[in-house]
Amino acid sequence: MAEPLARPVLNHIGGADLPAASGATMHLISPTTGMPHRTAPLSGRSDTDAACAHAAAAYERWSTTTPAERQRALLRIADAMEAHADDLTTAEVGDTGKPAELFRTEELPAITDTLRYFAGAARNLPGAAAGEYTEGRTSLLRREPIGVCAQITPWNYPLMMAAWKIAPALAAGNTTVLKPADTTPSSTALLARIAAEHLPPGVLNVVCGDRDTGRALIAHPAVRLIAVTGSVRAGREIATAAAADLKRVHLELGGNAPVIIHDDIDIETTAAQLAAVAYYNAGQDCTAPTRLLVHADIHDTFVDAFAAHAAALRPAFDFGPLNSAAQLASVEGLLSRLPGHAKIATGGSRQAGPGFYHQPTVVTHVRQSDEIVQEEIFGPVVTVQSFEDEAEALRHADDVRFGLAAGVWTTDHDRAMRATRALNTGIVWVNTHGTTVSEMPHGGVKHSGYGSDLSLSGLLDYTQVKHVML
């Protein structure tokens, strides 16, 4: 007998929780069971139009609030999220399948910290000093909000990415309409309901749906900035659509992070730390260390240690399932197309049992031109290549179209600093990997997009500058 479905997810538009105007819904599939567990609205143009209209109306008042007012609202939302931690965890875990304890301890504190950081940053916008740059006239700069923002978030970290988007937008005085990923809207819709107690109606709107819903949202004439975390395909489509109305675009896209491991490191410690990060969230992380470049002198020993740590990870405790049947098929497809020279050191198969679990997998003897090296995997698969010298390692590290994150492990300070300068990525970690802080920017180069989440840079991306001359 099928389990009863959980309470339906609803849109949040103009301060009210609403179904799609058409009544259309979509089933949300639990990645842990492969079965439907609740429904969400399949919103259409009438829903995105209503959300944008409410956001535009709310902007007239919200954009004139003081930074202190916006700070108080964000701080209260962060406090309310902590008070609703159990409900948010249930919502997130239901859609993603990630282990509840990992979400509660590793993600939720960082999410509320993001809101609190931008609450403070709202009161510290930088600006050039006023001055006389021509005789008899004084110039000054105003930094102002942009208007209505359309924001689209991915399915790997639904609540975290929602916080990364809405916090700087609201702190800067904008209003927003956010569309969560079609498979994981529950925690974002709940966040909107929680925030409604502390925001005027229309400041934060959430519209659930599919790709067509997103297309209708970004095409709305009230939208002046589009911020997206997603795939390169989505980024290209959105940038193209935005060009027709000259909307500003903020893109955080894919990654394929290299990690250079030199022969002076502690093999066991490094292998353990990187395995824990690589397979967290089943590898569904655009900064995950997916390409390990290991010095030839320690390659075989390191592979043995890393593979042992990968094999010891426990499904449903140390990592969750892939997000969907489609994502599982994508990972399986990459592995099925491995060239003959590649070898699987551990894993390689779907995990036995229900849901979309896949074994942590290590692939060795790959070449730089192989598909599994060049393309983003977004699953629990790590490749290992060997290198002979520093120049070769740096060359292979940068020889992909992505440029979000990279890492280097060495005890040689000078070598580490050379790598941080040479690696063409938005983030470089040295002897660590995956840690983010609200005060530092998160963004990439090349096909990983442009614009920054987090930090003062992220806040400034949601503002525009006006020159005033008196």
**Residue 174 one-letter amino acid:** N
Q: b/e for 32-57, b at 16 or more Cβ within 10 A?
A: beeeebbbbbbbbbebbebbbbbbbb
Only one residue has tokens 């709305």, namely: 220
Q: Classify the C-alpha dihedral 173-179-181-185 as positive or negative.
A: positive
Read off the DSSP letter of residue 294: E
The pairing of beta strand 257-261 with beta strand 405-409: parallel
Backbone angles phi, psi at 255, to 5 degrees: -145, 165
Q: Note if 252 is an active site residue.
A: yes
C-alpha to C-alpha distance for 440 and 121, rounded to whole angstroms: 12
Judge contact between 91 and 186, C-beta under 8 A. Answer: yes
Q: Note if 286 is an active site residue.
A: yes
Q: Classify the C-alpha dihedral 129-463-252-167 as positive or negative.
A: positive
Q: What does the CA dihedral 338, 409, 106, 426 come to, rounded to 10 degrees?
A: -80
Neighbours of 343 (CB within 10 A): 14
CA-wise closest residue to 118 among 77, 63, 176, 62: 77
CA-wise closest residue to 327 among 276, 290, 378, 265: 378
Catalytic residue, candidates 92, 107, 252, 376:
252
**Residue 65 one-letter amino acid:** T
Catalytic residue, candidates 52, 286, 376, 390:
286
Q: Which residues are catalytic?
A: 252, 286
